[in-house]
Each structure stands twice: as C-alpha cells, then as structure tokens.
Structure 1
Amino acid sequence: MEQEARGRPRKSARQQDIPSSTLRLGLVPAPELPERTANLIVDELPELLARHTDDRHQWRVDCLTDPLIGADDSTADVIEQGENIKRANGWDYAVCITDLPLLRGDRMALAEASENLGVAIISLPALGISPLRQRLREAILHLVNEMHHGSDRHDRERQQQHMEDGREAREQSGLRNSNARELMGSRLFERLVPIKRVTPADDSEKNVDVRFVSATKWPGYAKLLGGMVRANRPWTILPAFRRIVAVAFATGAYGLIFPTLWKLSAAYELYRFVALMIAAIVAMIVWLILDHGLWEPQHYTHNARLTRFYNLTTVMTLLAGVACYYVILFALFLVAVVLFVPASLLESTVGRSVGWLAFPALAWLATSVATVAGALGSSLESDETIRGATYGYRQQLRQRKVKERQQRDRQQEDRDSST
C-alpha cells in the first residue's frame, strides 16, 4: 500500500482538506554542532514537509541526539544505527546528521539515502561554512522526498513537475532548490563546487539508493575542510589563551624596557616583520600540537586520507585560534607602546626621527617575540581545553559514551532476565 501511495499523483489541499494519516520523521544528529543546527529547524519542518512533500499526511518531526552518529565514520554502521533508532521510535523516516566527513573514492559525499530502509545521512561539514541552517533544511526536505516518493527517473520527473507547480510556495518558504535532482538550491559554494547526484550500482552498497557527491575533487576538499574547521568551533579555545596572553604580555612588556627591541623595530624591513610573525605563529601551533598530543595517529582511523583531514583540520583550527590570540596581543602592546613610550625618547634611542608607524612596528615586533613565550606558557592549560576542539578527541569521548550506554543496556537486560 505504501508503494502505491507513493506512485499516485500528489493531491492538493483543496482536493483533500483532512490528512489521511500522520507520518513521522526523526532527526538523529550527532552532539554539538549537528544537534544545535537540527534544533534550529525541527519546529518548521512539519509545515514544510506538508507543503512541499506530501499534503495528504500530517507530519511530525522528532529530534534525538545519538553519540554514535558522530563517533563512527562508516556509513553502513550509521545507517544501521539510524534504522534501529527509527524502528525503536516508530518513525517512518530517519535522517542522521553527522559532523564527520564521508569520503567515497576520490570524492567528498554530502549525503546518502536508502529508500528501502527509509534512512538518510547528511555530512554537515560537507555543506560548507554557512549558511548551514538553510542548506540543512533543503537537504533534509530533498532526502525525505527521495525516500517518500522514490529515486528512479520517473519518480524524479513527477517530483520535478510538482516542484514547478509549487514554485511560488517554495519561494515564500525561503527554499531555493527548484530541481528534483539537486540536494540544495544554488548558492555561491554550489556554483564553485557543483554537487553531483549518483545512484550506486555496487552490490556492496545495496542499502544506498542515491548519493550526492562533489563533482570536483580539490574544491570539494577545500569546502569540506572549511566545514570541519567550523565544526571544531575554534572560538571555543580562545578562553584557553587567557593565561597565555598574560604570560606573553608580561614577557613582552619586560622586553620593551630594553632598547634592543626599539632599535630592531626601526631597522627591520616589512618582510622581516612578516617572517617573524609567521615563525612565531607556527612555533606556537607546533608547540600546542606536541604538548597536548593533538596529532592524530593513522592507526586510530585506519584511513590515511581521513587521518590527514583530521590533522589538517586541527592545524587550521589552531591557526584560527592563534591568529585571534595574536591580534589581541598586538592590540594590548599597541596601547602600551602609545601610552608609555615617548616619541622623543624613541627617536633618541634609534638615532633618527620616527613617524607614527614606528609605534605599530614596535608593537608588532613585541607581539611576535612574546608569542614564542606564550607558546611555552600554553602548557599551563589543561589538555581537555585544547583537545576538545579536535575531531579525534571528540570521537573518543562519543565512543566512550556509546560503550557506557551499551554496558548499561546489557546490565539492564541481565537484571530483567533474572527477575
């Protein structure tokens, strides 16, 4: 009966005022960013599904966070877990939202769906940096359409006609996607990194009926990397730099007492300032990685390319955090130099007249020198503060939670069987 219902032309609201039944969709996001993003759209999805998927039914959408969705990079395992959760909660469809990359061959996968199981999976970082909410909303609607109405050519042609008939309603809902074969509407990233719809023919992927992958390799990787850095939330490590800033500023302020930094700042060319800044930032990133054990070993993921992505994401995340730290430290030194270094004393020390650029130059040099001292001070922070912004560490925490939950379930089953 369900297949027959999917094959019938969609009735309008005028043809049927009262929906015949209720369909339930479950969102299963991983903790942190996927969970927060899913919660932003869960309340608006029932109306969107009724208007743009099937108005013969009422729609109910639930959201249930599961740590396994963000702890396992195997699509088969995630789809199996999603199918178990769907069956346990009595859902008709389930969409799993992970913050892990899905790599298929030499391409990045954005989403996959199983029409038979009624389960789909979306890789949130593959959607790019922003706007995540709009992209995720359109991707969920499209994947539910694929699972509800079918994925073959005739089903997509029928859905395309339906989308064209409801183009005005989709625009009112803020949906850009007007193509039944596209995962999302066209935005800047989708123009730069096109998305390709494929139907796997490999028997080993019998649970995957449709897949959306990046049509280009390296731009797709760059988009994925940006999304992974955002999933790491580099701004969360900024509080960890409070004591580092204090140590670095104290060291740099002490160095400003001596005339050596003054003379060097007056003698340096621009390329020397830039080279010293890069060297200081790199030194701090390397020290953070080594001191806090942030480098991901390959034996953990058993995938060399995935390990490289994790490590590159860690480096980019730390780069964003250290760059913010550097700007803050520069602002502090600039204020200190302007307030406490008289122009006449600076001129007599360097032996020539100076302009207003001499003060930012001196602050810039002091910042670079103090950053090296701040790198040593970074060991004062706890490992969890820094490691919490890395993929490998979060996966370990989630897998630990999964094991603890499984252990509790087994203990409960043993108690039930003994009574």
Structure 2
Amino acid sequence: METIHVGLVADPAAPTAIARDMSDLSSPDGGASWDVTVVSEPFSTGSEDVGAAVGRLQDQACQRGWDLVVGLTELPLHDHKGRHLLVQTDPEQRTAVLSLPALGGIRMHSRARRAVRALLSAMAEPRTGGEAHRVVLPHLRGRWRLLFGMVLANRPWLLIPGLKSALVASLATGAVATVNSTVWLLAGSLSWWRLVVATVASITLVVAWLVIDGELWDRPDDESPQARERSRLYNTSTLLTLTSGVLMGYFALYVVNLAWAYFILDPDLMGGYLNKTLGYRDLFVLAWFVASAATVGGGLGSGLETDEAIRAAAYSKREEDRRDRLAHDRDSR
C-alpha cells in the first residue's frame, strides 16, 4: 500500500493541541496510508496575505520530505482583495492553510478534523496543475463567525485567574461593603435602572483600564485598508474577550457577595438599626450594588500582574510573540 507523508504545521497552543488530535488521520476511501507528522511552529503572522503563509508551508514540505502539508493557524487570513478566508489550497504544491477561528469556535476539534481530512483527500488526488483554490467567508455573516471564533480562541474564562490581585481586592471590598450600613442605605435607594447603569459603568471602567494599563490596543502598521481592517478586527475581538471575562468575574463576585450576605447578615437586625423594614429579598439588591462597587474598587485599585492570560486576551500581543518566535527560528537556522 502506498504511503503518503502528511505534515500538519500548527501555531503554538490551541492549534497545536487540535493538530495532535489528528495524528491518527487516515484516508476516508481506504486507499493510500497517511503517515501524519505534527509540527508546532508559528508560520503565519498577522492577518496577512495568505500567499505568505502558503509559501512558508511549502518550504517546510521541501525540508521535511512531505507529500502533503496543511497549516492550522489561529489568526484570520485574507486575500489580496481584503476578503476573509476559511481555507486556501495550492493543488500544484499540495499545500493548504486553514484559519481555525473562521470555523466559528464551536466544536473546533471535530470541525477542524473534518476540514483537514477533506483537504488532504482532495490534494491526494493526482496532480492536475490547478490554480490556487480558496474558500471566502460571506461578508457579514462570515465576519461575525470569524469574530466569534477569535473571541473563543482567546479563552475569556481564563482572564479571571490572570487578575489575581484584582480578584482578591474585589472580594475584600465586597466583604467590607456588605456589612456597611451606608452601603445598605445606598443600595435601597437605587432604582433598578440605576443599578443597571452601575453594572455597565463598572464593567466598562475595568475593561478600559485593562486595555490602557496592559497596552492591548492595536494600531495599524500603515495606512492601507488591510492594516486598518486587521486592527479593527483585533481590537474588536480584544474588547469582546475582555468584556466577557470581566462579566464572568462580575457574576462570580455577585454570587460570592450574596452567599456572604446570607451567611452573616440578619435583615431584621439591620432594618432595626436603619429604621427600615428589610427582608431577605433586599440582600439580592445589596449584593448587586456591592458587586458593581467591588468590581471598580478591585479592578482599578490594584496593579495587574504580568500574566499570559491577560496577554492572551489580545490578538495583537499574541502576534508580537509569534513574530518574535518566527524571527528567532529564522535566525537560528
């Protein structure tokens, strides 16, 4: 049986984990045997023209003696017209590059597996000398799917562990504020829409602080439409990732404050002290108000650690790491 040597070149971290799950890929028609090799290495930088990424993959194939090569990247790709791409193949060179975020971020392992198998099956056919083939995402719906995939690739749920000092400060602020009579009076005097405004304002302030203090805002390298579009895409995904992470932390803080209030406070006793009639339902309002105050106090009142979880929230920062590693690999060769 003929053996086809297949190379999967994946960006570090999540793309590498997805690629390693495909080391057992086999031909769907039971024909030639696939010998799959996985290499973890950054081969793409920025939302670049996909031709540059394909060229690097072809160099890898020549050096390692692969018959077929597929690159898996966590970055968005575009063609010379600025259109976002899911995949591009070069049938003549038997090379393809797949943008994982363009798959939408849901069931990534299974979707990527199906996509890579289909690409390899198509490229394993006898060479016909065909031109490069690309799958372009729909303009509006595809952009939202790409953006959603980028946010999930950023793993916003890992942002909270990256804000250890802010989290501790928020919990301490909430614990003290919960037993403060002035806070009880303020919480009881606020209408529901003021509480909503306080929630939105607290989350917005913390997100803005993370962007400014962490220098997470990406700026175009030049004035070209492609560079501006890349920055807009990166910055939008960063803001959505940070907002999602801070929102998760806010709800966690609300639950902790509510549990603490139920455990330590007696509404009748506090009501007698304040000359008001209070019940356990008032604890929900109290915890809501305290969560907003503690989010601001903890987020802005403490320094941010240098943590990979925070850097990972921004595509621009991960791109810097990717560029540095790619340059280092080139210099070492």
Question: What are the Cα deviations for residues 170-202 of structure 1, in whole angstroms up to 9, with x where unaligned?
Answer: xxxxxxxxxxxxxxxxxxxxxxxxxxxxxxxxx
Q: Pick 1 or 2: higher relative contact order, CA cutoff 8 A, min separation 6.
A: 2
Q: Distance in 2 between matches of 1:300 and 1:371?
A: 37
Give the 3-state SS of the residue equivalent to 1:332 in structure 2.
Answer: helix
Closer/same/farther in 2, CA of residues 208 and 308 from structure 1, 3 Å limit: farther
Residue matched to 1:406:
330
Residue matched to 2:74:
99
Kindly provide the amino acid, as one letter, of the partner of residue 129 in structure 1: G
Residue matched to 2:196:
274
Kindly provide the amino acid, as one letter, of the partner of residue 115 in structure 1: P
Kindly provide the amino acid, as one letter, of the partner of residue 248 in structure 1: S
The normalised TM-score by structure 2 is 0.92
Kindly provide the amino acid, as one letter, of the partner of residue 86 in structure 2: L
Give the 3-state SS of the residue equivalent to 1:294 in structure 2.
Answer: coil
Kindly provide the amino acid, as one letter, of the partner of residue 83 in structure 1: Q
Q: Distance in 2 between matches of 1:338 and 1:151?
A: 71
The answer to whether the 8 Å contact 1:26/1:95 transfers is yes
Residue matched to 2:237:
313
Q: Distance in 2 between matches of 1:85 and 1:63?
A: 12
| CA RMSD in angstroms, aligned pairs only | 2.3
The answer to whether the 8 Å contact 1:252/1:366 transfers is yes
Return 5+ residue gaps in structure 2 as ranges: none
**In the alignment, is residue 219 of structure 1 matched against residue 195 of structure 2?**
no
Return 5+ residue gaps in structure 1 as ranges: 1-18, 153-205, 410-419
Residue matched to 2:117:
141
Kindly provide the amino acid, as one letter, of the partner of residue 401 in structure 1: R
Residue matched to 1:166:
none
Residue matched to 1:394:
318
Closer/same/farther in 2, CA of residues 268 and 350 from structure 1, 3 Å limit: farther
Aligned positions, number: 330
Q: Distance in 2 between matches of 1:149 and 1:289?
A: 48
The percentage of counterpart residues that share the same residue type is 30
Kindly provide the amino acid, as one letter, of the partner of residue 76 in structure 1: G
**In the alignment, is residue 232 of structure 1 matched against residue 136 of structure 2?**
no
Pairing partner for 1:364 from 277, 280, 288: 288
Give the 3-state SS of the residue equivalent to 2:300 in structure 1.
Answer: helix
Q: Distance in 2 between matches of 1:317 and 1:150?
A: 44
Give the 3-state SS of the residue equivalent to 1:293 in structure 2.
Answer: coil
Question: What are the Cα deviations for residues 393-416 of structure 1, in whole angstroms up to 9, with x where unaligned?
Answer: 11111211122222222xxxxxxx
Question: What are the Cα deviations for residues 313-366 of structure 1, in whole angstroms up to 9, with x where unaligned?
Answer: 111111121112112211221122112221113323554423332111101101
Question: What are the Cα deviations for residues 263-299 of structure 1, in whole angstroms up to 9, with x where unaligned?
Answer: 1222222211111111100100000100110101112
The normalised TM-score by structure 1 is 0.74
The answer to whether the 8 Å contact 2:47/2:77 transfers is no
The answer to whether the 8 Å contact 1:251/1:373 transfers is yes
Q: Distance in 2 between matches of 1:284 and 1:207?
A: 52
- Higher alpha-carbon Rg: 1
Residue matched to 1:28:
9
Question: What are the Cα deviations for residues 210-248 of structure 1, in whole angstroms up to 9, with x where unaligned?
Answer: 111223x22211111111012112233221222212112
